Amino acid sequence: MTLSVAEKSYLYDSLASTPSVRPDGRHQHQFRPIEIYTDFLPSSNGSSRIIASDGSECIVSVKAKVVDHSLDSDLLQVEIDIAGERDDSLITESCTSLFNKVLRSIDTKKLQLTKKYSFKLFIDVLVLSSNSYPVSLISFGIYSALNSTALPKLVSNFDDLEVEELPMFHDYDLVPLEVNAPLVFVLAVVKNNIFIDPAANESEVANNGLIVSWSDGKVIAPIRTIALNETNTKGFNPQLIQQGIKLVDQYAEEIAKALTNL
Amino acid sequence: MSQFEVYSPEGLRMDGRRWNELRRFETSINTHSHAADGSSYLEQGNNKIITLVKGPTEPALRSQLDQTKATLSISVNVTKFSKFERSKSTGNTKNERRILEMQTALVRTFEKNLMLNLYPRTIIDIEIHVLQQDGGILGSLINGITLACIDAGIAMYDYISGVSIGLYDTTPLLDVNSLEEAAMSCVTLGVVGKSEKLSLLQVEDKIPLDRLENVLAIGIAGAHRIRDLMDTALRAHAEKRVLNASKR
Amino acid sequence: MSEVISVVSRNGAFQKTMIMEEFSSDESEDDYNMTGSEDEEEGEEGAEKSSSKPTSKKSSKNIDSELMTPGELITSDPIWMRGHGTYFLENDTYSSVAGRVSKVNKLLSVIPLKSRYAPETGDHVVGRIAEVSNKRWKVDIGGKQHAILMLGSVNLPGGILRRKSESDELQMRSFLKEGDLLNAEVQSLFQDGAASLHTRSLKYGKLRNGQFCQVPNSLIVRSKNHTHNLPGNVTVVLGVNGYIWLRMTSSMDLARDAPPGGSTQVSGGEASGRAAGPTGAVSLNPNASLSITRLEEESSWKIYSDENDASITNQLKQTISRYANIIKALAFCEVGITHERIVLGYEASLAYSDVGALIQRDNMEALGADVLNAERMRGNAE
């Protein structure tokens, strides 16, 4: 997105001033409205589709597979495909690595079936279109997809170390997966102010971006900075990180609730 | 009827259809108004397909610029989760031979149907995402593209509707699903409007020549039916838009 | 509803509304047997299609403003001239898009329900510079192709009678560069439909002091005037192409609206917040109507300035954000966007003291309904 110099300075001044004015009048902590649809892919164990008000959209599928967890201990695998970007592009790779890290906060005990076998979850993300940095969209997608995931119910014995048999499942009964999926927030730093969920034009003038992860009531690692644009990026006051974490701490609970309230 | 019987003596298929019945066909138009100039979402049986049309617009690269007509580019993204079993391939699925072939077939089909000469020096970019597939995918892609292009307001000669027909022994089966597709020889057709003209004919397996005519006849009739379904959907969508516009 | 985020959700569905009424399988039990087709004998659809089943039962109906879909026969009457959205095969005219038939004199065309912006001569558009090339700028106006703005079609610093020199060619980027926004008029169309723009009037040129927003071009109706002063010291430029610029009202904007003779009824509040002209020059007597003699001083380097006026207050920025949200709400409701409706929307929006509340779906819908209601009420009163 290219903006004119006059637009940029107008936006920058509005966002940098105290009190700040966002171009759509939002509060510092206010998200843009989103739409969520879940469980529309019958061939996946869980699925979700998130649409932001600016038309950014992401589709997530969760598929489960039974694996021997002594051979394959990596029980969560995220793959991200961003339309219009190559698989080896910087943004795709950095998002993939971020989410593979963030999802380590999930307790994989929940995926264990028997002493030998576990479910492995393949989380495939398709970003259909995105106007700003897509990680919070993706994290909302993964969050709702995991919440809509249901796995087959085990009918064979838990202790299968002695018996040579594969786990057996109930013909149609499913058990909802209950995990505390993490959320990831993008914050934009403009001078001494910090904003949640920057829109495309806000990202364009931001001095820096902050990625803050959150799970189960607290801020977790990784926390990262990212450059949201190529022209305006510069250093910022470290106190803003504290401020950003506080902001996430304060509002993440409410967002998690809004996302689960289907 | 045994589980693996493709076509029972009573004349029923695995999913309970008769030989001449289409799968459930549902579609909605202008689903992604922010992201594209024209868009459609199509469910044909268990095929679920999003089609986005961007353009006609100024090409990003000089090499895509044609002084006499629009450049048509079609990219098909078959998601890894689209099949029941997740695709295991780790590499780039976008460059798979099967998909490249499909893209070429689609470009050839629509190059002749869209009036590209009306949009010189531009590019029309069609992006398809297959969320779920269950046989006869090429036909469904054709239907999705037709609707999305109409939504984008791109001039075309007529609808193109696509459908796959299998030949089970001597019985042609209309609109095959993936199990049927795997079990028998199949033909995919792209039919121009209500005519008997074919803009696409794909036969990838052996098929007895004397049966081909029969298969084509069934396919054309089925494609005409799909055209009508698309037309009904489009008209319903248009009525709604016009109703909105009357408020202005 | 949460103040932090508003969520619309639905389980087990791909989208908000059901796709359409389901086609039950028995409906598709039409006879696909090619041998025994006993279709009703309908009017032939032209030679090309005579072999197929009849497509349309409407050939006898009045075709005016009827909905057409691609490949549908419009008329076999050869008296019509074929316009956009139609094609011709053996004396028959068919539709090539989905839309309504329009007949102007003998010209028959089909207007698509939706398409990219198609420029027409005289259109007032807002555009963004996409490329600077030899003696011309390429401008993104949301059309099929970029519009062309020739170096000779702009006012250059130093007055209207100034001659263009080679040094101007070399410093084109110092006037307008990639990303810059401007408003302009479509001067003419090229053979292939691309627009040629000009900014040779003081109401056109580089845009400053405000914020950009975009709506579908179908929502903007062509009218005589596309620049409007709004309550709250804000001016809107409604580009016919759906690109919209909201800015602080300048003295130029006020002068344009003032009745001839110079007597203006500017309220004190607006007058105090007033700033220099949109082109940057400060006039000593802002109430005076624009005179030719001022052209020269206006056409200083300042018309290509990238600086915003320092006098834009935070409150004014809030108001501009409010207007941006109102315009987005109107677009969300697919309501045509006019000066009157923006003002009505502004009045209705004052019920929400928090500008950020206007981005919520419910509030956008309520606002759209309020505007249409208010319009109806006023229509009755008059």
* Helix, strand, coil share of chain A (percent; to 5): 30, 35, 40
CATH number at residue A25: 3.30.230.70
**Tens of pLDDT, residues C16-44:** 765 444 333 333 334 343 333 333 333 33
Predicted local confidence at residue A198, as pLDDT: 95
Predicted local confidence at residue B201, as pLDDT: 95
| CA angle, A82 then A85 then A86, to 5° | 110
Partner C contacted by A25 (CB < 8 A): yes
If asked whether residues A90 and A131 sit together in one domain, one would say yes
State the total domains in chain B.
Answer: 1
If asked whether residues A187 and A261 sit together in one domain, one would say yes
Percent of chain B with pLDDT over 90: 81
Test A2 with C356 for CB contact under 8 angstroms.
Answer: no
If asked whether residues A224 and A112 sit together in one domain, one would say no
- Domain range holding B54? 25-245
Cα–Cα distance measured from residue A82 to residue B129, given in angstroms and rounded to the nearest whole number: 11
Instruction: State the average pLDDT for chain A.
Output: 92
Given a cut of 70, whether residue C266 has pLDDT beyond it is: no
Identify the domain boundary among A179, A197, A229: A179
- Domain range holding A91? 34-179
Mean local confidence (pLDDT), C138-147: 95
Residue C89: Cβ within 10 Å count? 13
Helix/strand/coil (H/E/C) assignment for every residue in chain B: CCCCCCECCCCCECCCCCCCCCCCEEEEECCCCCCCCEEEEEEECCEEEEEEEEEEECCCCHHHCCCCCCEEEEEEEECCCCCCCCCCCCCCHHHCHHHHHHHHHHHHHHHHHECHHHCCCCEEEEEEEEEECCCCHHHHHHHHHHHHHHHCCCCECCCEEEEEEEEECCEEEECCCHHHHHHCEEEEEEEECCCCCEEEEEECCCCCHHHHHHHHHHHHHHHHHHHHHHHHHHHHHHHHHHHHHCCC
What pTM was computed for the model? 0.89
If asked whether residues A120 and A174 sit together in one domain, one would say yes
Task: Single out the residue of C72, C45, C52, C29 nearest to residue B238, CA to CA.
Answer: C72
Test C144 with B217 for CB contact under 8 angstroms.
Answer: no
ipTM value for the complex: 0.92
Predicted local confidence at residue C270, as pLDDT: 40
Q: Lowest mean pLDDT of A136-140, B120-124, B198-202, C286-290, name the range.
A: C286-290
Does any domain span residue B9? no
Residue C160: band (very low, low, confident or very high) from pLDDT cuts 50, 70, 90: low
Partner A contacted by B76 (CB < 8 A): no
Q: Which residues contact B210 (CB under 8 A, 6 or more apart)?
A: none
CATH number at residue B77: 3.30.230.70
If asked whether residues A42 and A172 sit together in one domain, one would say yes
**Tens of pLDDT, residues B209-238:** 999 999 999 999 999 999 999 999 999 999
Can you tell me whether residue C157 is helix, strand or coil? coil
Partner C contacted by B8 (CB < 8 A): no
Q: Which residues contact A220 (CB under 8 A, 6 or more apart)?
A: A102, A105, A182, A213, A214
Predicted local confidence at residue B204, as pLDDT: 86
Predicted local confidence at residue C161, as pLDDT: 61
Given a cut of 90, whether residue C212 has pLDDT beyond it is: yes
Test C52 with B224 for CB contact under 8 angstroms.
Answer: yes
Predicted local confidence at residue B247, as pLDDT: 56
**Tens of pLDDT, residues C74-125:** 999 989 999 999 999 988 999 999 999 999 999 999 999 989 999 999 999 9
| Residue reference for tokens 């619309």 | C8
Chain C neighbours, 3+ Cβ pairs < 8 A: A, B
Test C11 with A262 for CB contact under 8 angstroms.
Answer: yes
**Tens of pLDDT, residues C247-259:** 999 888 888 776 5
Predicted local confidence at residue B230, as pLDDT: 97
Identify the domain boundary among A149, A179, A209: A179
**Tens of pLDDT, residues A126-136:** 999 999 899 99
Partner C contacted by A5 (CB < 8 A): yes
pLDDT < 50 positions in chain A: none
Residue C202: band (very low, low, confident or very high) from pLDDT cuts 50, 70, 90: confident
Does any domain span residue B10? no
Does any domain span residue B58? yes
**More confident of the two residues C77 and C276:** C77
Question: What residues of chain A lie within 8 A of the CB of B46, using their CB?
Answer: 42-43
Cβ proximity of C274 and C251 under 8 Å: yes
Cα–Cα distance measured from residue A93 to residue A91, given in angstroms and rounded to the nearest whole number: 6
Residue C162: band (very low, low, confident or very high) from pLDDT cuts 50, 70, 90: low
Instruction: State the average pLDDT for chain C.
Output: 79
Test C312 with A10 for CB contact under 8 angstroms.
Answer: yes
- Closest-CA distance, A243 to chain B, in angstroms, reads 33
Question: What residues of chain A lie within 8 A of the CB of C316, using their CB?
Answer: none
Test B55 with C144 for CB contact under 8 angstroms.
Answer: yes
Given a cut of 80, whether residue C231 has pLDDT beyond it is: yes
Test A30 with C8 for CB contact under 8 angstroms.
Answer: no
If asked whether residues A87 and A147 sit together in one domain, one would say yes
Closest partner CB to B81 (pick from A63, A83, A129): A63
The sign one gets for the Cα dihedral C266, C270, C271, C276 is negative
Does any domain span residue B150? yes
Cα–Cα distance measured from residue A177 to residue C243, given in angstroms and rounded to the nearest whole number: 46
Task: Single out the residue of C118, C337, C346 nearest to residue B248, CA to CA.
Answer: C337
Cα–Cα distance measured from residue B59 to residue C129, given in angstroms and rounded to the nearest whole number: 15
Partner C contacted by A3 (CB < 8 A): yes
If asked whether residues A110 and A172 sit together in one domain, one would say yes
Task: Single out the residue of A86, B222, A237, B74 nearest to residue C28, CA to CA.
Answer: B222
Question: What residues of chain C lie within 8 A of the CB of A29, using their CB?
Answer: 4
State the total domains in chain A.
Answer: 2
Identify the domain boundary among A125, A153, A179: A179
Does any domain span residue B130? yes
If asked whether residues A246 and A205 sit together in one domain, one would say yes
If asked whether residues A248 and A126 sit together in one domain, one would say no
Test C221 with B248 for CB contact under 8 angstroms.
Answer: yes
Can you tell me whether residue C295 is helix, strand or coil? helix
Predicted local confidence at residue A203, as pLDDT: 94
Percent of chain C with pLDDT over 70: 73
Residue type, A202: E
If asked whether residues A211 and A155 sit together in one domain, one would say no
Cβ proximity of C248 and C309 under 8 Å: yes
Mean local confidence (pLDDT), C329-340: 92
Backbone dihedral region for residue B43 (phi beyond 0: left; psi -120 to 50: alpha; all else: beta):
beta
Helices within C87-246 (DSSP H only) = 166-170, 172-175
Question: What residues of chain C lie within 8 A of the CB of B122, using their CB?
Answer: 144-145
Whether cis (ω within 30° of 0) applies to the bond prior to A19 is yes
Chain B neighbours, 3+ Cβ pairs < 8 A: A, C
Predicted local confidence at residue C259, as pLDDT: 59
Predicted local confidence at residue B93, as pLDDT: 63
If asked whether residues A76 and A126 sit together in one domain, one would say yes
The sign one gets for the Cα dihedral C102, C104, C106, C107 is negative
Whether cis (ω within 30° of 0) applies to the bond prior to A222 is yes
If asked whether residues A150 and A126 sit together in one domain, one would say yes
**Tens of pLDDT, residues C37-72:** 333 333 333 333 333 333 343 443 455 568 999 999
Mean local confidence (pLDDT), C284-311: 64
Predicted local confidence at residue B153, as pLDDT: 95
Predicted local confidence at residue A161, as pLDDT: 83
Task: Single out the residue of B111, B110, B138, B112 nearest to residue B42, CA to CA.
Answer: B138
- Closest-CA distance, A219 to chain B, in angstroms, reads 31
Question: What residues of chain A lie within 8 A of the CB of C14, using their CB?
Answer: 37, 40, 49
Question: What residues of chain A lie within 8 A of the CB of C358, using their CB?
Answer: 25
Does any domain span residue B12? no
- Closest-CA distance, B79 to chain A, in angstroms, reads 8
Test C307 with A9 for CB contact under 8 angstroms.
Answer: yes
Task: Single out the residue of B109, B229, B142, B193 nearest to residue C51, CA to CA.
Answer: B193
Predicted local confidence at residue C251, as pLDDT: 83
Find the helix or strand (DSSP H, E) in which C212 lies: strand C210-214
Closest partner CB to C359 (pick from A40, A53, A259): A53
Does any domain span residue B4? no
Residue B4: band (very low, low, confident or very high) from pLDDT cuts 50, 70, 90: low
| CA angle, C112 then C146 then B63, to 5° | 105
